[in-house]
Amino acid sequence: MSRIPQLLVVLLLCSGSAIYAQTSDPPAPGWVAYQPTEDDLRCANYSKQEWRVTLSSDKSSIQVSRFEGETYRHVIKVRDGRLVGENHGEWGGGLWWISRDGRRRKQLSDENVHGFVKTSSGVLVIVGLSHLTFNYGEVLQYIDGPGRKKRVKAFADLGFAPRTFLLESPESVMVLTRDGFVRVHSSGGLESVFRRVYGLLYPNSFTLSPNRVIHVGMRHFITRLTPSEGTYKEEWFVPANCIQFVQQEYDCVCSAASR
């Protein structure tokens, strides 16, 4: 092979967004591997395409659907009523216990509630806020007492605002924060799993397969994290009909060449 064709091959392999790999098995039909550039990530921040990932019922495959937006109210049943949490971002939030008949209530916290999870340590509440200079997250533990003695107490300091989470087992919860994945143990101990800052891609969901592979849903992309030698191998994917995209004002749209 002459020197010029060799140089062209190198340039094509390194030229950024127009080149996408097809060597990785896609996480779901209709998706292809892609290595984003910094420009791609900036564009994706504006994308109106947001993807939610879930595991199939038998946990054998990944299902990808459109993310329909944040849930601002979370409800979970407890022994004598329900807990209601709200998250309105910079506008505030709160956590309340409400009796079964709705006649009695008590505010337990004024934090922004991202959701609840039942563990061997009881009901845990994921709270936190990311806005401007605010970036903090915490896990609270619900203490069920009679009447006005119901309360929450600090259980674990996440260090950063939570984005999404899932129950691994009765003994642990995995949380994706603004700084990466952490594991909260039933003892209240915190374990760093993998540091990954997704920035302004706003991850909204992730899955954990039986062989510990993680998939993350976010704006424009999904990623796959495969355990490898004590860390994770990261791969990015886009829809096969959107392998080229451009920013148009306050949107990131698939270009005509990729359709």
For the chain, what are the domain ranges? 17-69+204-259
CB atoms under 10 Å from CB of 22, counted, come to: 10
Predicted model pTM: 0.88
pLDDT tens for the chain, residues 1 to 259: 444 444 433 333 334 443 444 446 899 999 999 999 999 999 999 999 999 999 999 999 999 999 998 889 999 999 999 999 999 998 999 999 999 999 999 999 999 999 999 999 999 999 999 988 889 999 999 999 887 799 999 999 999 999 999 999 999 999 999 999 999 999 999 999 999 999 999 999 999 999 999 999 999 999 999 999 999 999 999 999 999 999 999 999 998 654 4
Spatial neighbors of 220 by CB under 8 A, at least 6 apart, are 43, 44, 47, 49, 50, 51, 201, 238, 242, 245, 252
Collapsing DSSP to helix, strand or coil, 256 comes out as: helix
